[in-house]
Chains A and B, each alone.
Chain A
Amino acid sequence: MKATVHVMLKTGVLDPQGDAVRHALGALGFEGVNGVRQGKVIELDLADGATEADVNAMCEKLLANTVIESYRVDMS
């Protein structure tokens, strides 16, 4: 089974990379982009029986730094 983890910087945490992407889009003529936030997607290939709770524990311990990041887990 697979799990997909989306990790994003929390609201209120400055995202200079997202901001740089926003500027670059503006420079390319894409108007009306008010904000860009950049995160990461982590795909996990899991043994059968793994639960969302297991993946949440992985996020808390390693995959996300909850001081600055939030995460969302999608099991499939």
Chain B
Amino acid sequence: MKAAVVVFPGSNCDRDLAVAFRAAGADVTMVWHKDTDLPEGVDIVGVPGGFSFGDYLRCGAIAANSPVCQAVKAHADRGGYVLGVCNGFQVLTETGILPGALLRNAGLKYICKTVGLKVETSQSVYTERYNAGDVIDIPIAHHDGNYFADQSTLDALAGEDRIAFSYTDNPNGSLRDIAGILSENRRVLGMMPHPERAADMGHGGTDGQALFRAVAGQLTSA
């Protein structure tokens, strides 16, 4: 499986994401934000956490308009896989690849801690190695993770089984406790929690490992 991890000025989880993909068996290439093309034959693009462009204007807004994001959008439009984590999720909503937006946390504080996540669906390449209803421990680290979308979008997400993860104890005010959502074709996942920070014994937890292994397993056999 070939993965590409995007690097923006201010990304800080890009290498963690690359390590997690590699540990699962992926061949990983880093892609700079000014690149206009993704490497040939890329199966999945990782959009990492961090503070792209200093979170200026809105989190992810400047990154969403960078050259590489046009390539990521084209990749998603032709049915490619994209995983956006934290700032990566914010970038994906800003590009319109995923619906909704991430607002300032309801409590106004930056929150960095491990939280319980309920796996809402196992029907995706990312979550197939979990069972729906499983509760996994994954760290969050964000100031703007408060998921917002209008009522009809929320109903569509729930009705189409596109809520991937929800918080067991909502830390940030997200509507319907949403922590991660899937695109309509279920190939794009955006999530605020960091599975790549729970993918090695040294992290203190490995609950995120199954996500990367599932992706690598599926896209290698495909």
Contacts and interface: CB of A to CB of B under 8 A. Distances in A.
Interface string A50-76: 000000000001110101100000000
A63 B57 CA distance: 7
B57 A68 contact: no
B104 A16 contact: yes
Nearest to B59: A65
B173 A16 contact: yes
B146 A14 contact: yes
A47 interface: no
Contacts of A61: 65
B94 A65 contact: yes
A62 B100 contact: no
Interface in B118-166: 146, 148-150
Contacts of B103: 9, 13-14, 16, 68
Interface in A16-62: 16-17, 20, 61-62
A14 B173 CA distance: 9
B52 to A, nearest CB: 14
Given A63-B57, A65-B61, A67-B100, A16 B108 contact: yes
B101 interface: yes
Interface in B25-72: 57-58, 61, 65
B219 to A, nearest CB: 30
Interface of A: 9, 13-14, 16-17, 20, 61-63, 65, 67-68
18 contacts: A13-B103, A13-B148, A14-B148, A16-B103, A16-B107, A17-B108, A20-B108, A62-B57, A63-B57, A65-B61, A65-B101, A67-B93, A67-B99, A67-B100, A67-B148, A67-B149, A68-B103, A68-B148
Given A16-B103, A61-B65, A62-B65, 18 more contacts: A9-B103, A13-B103, A14-B103, A14-B146, A14-B148, A16-B104, A16-B146, A16-B173, A17-B104, A20-B108, A62-B57, A63-B57, A65-B101, A67-B93, A67-B99, A67-B101, A67-B148, A68-B103
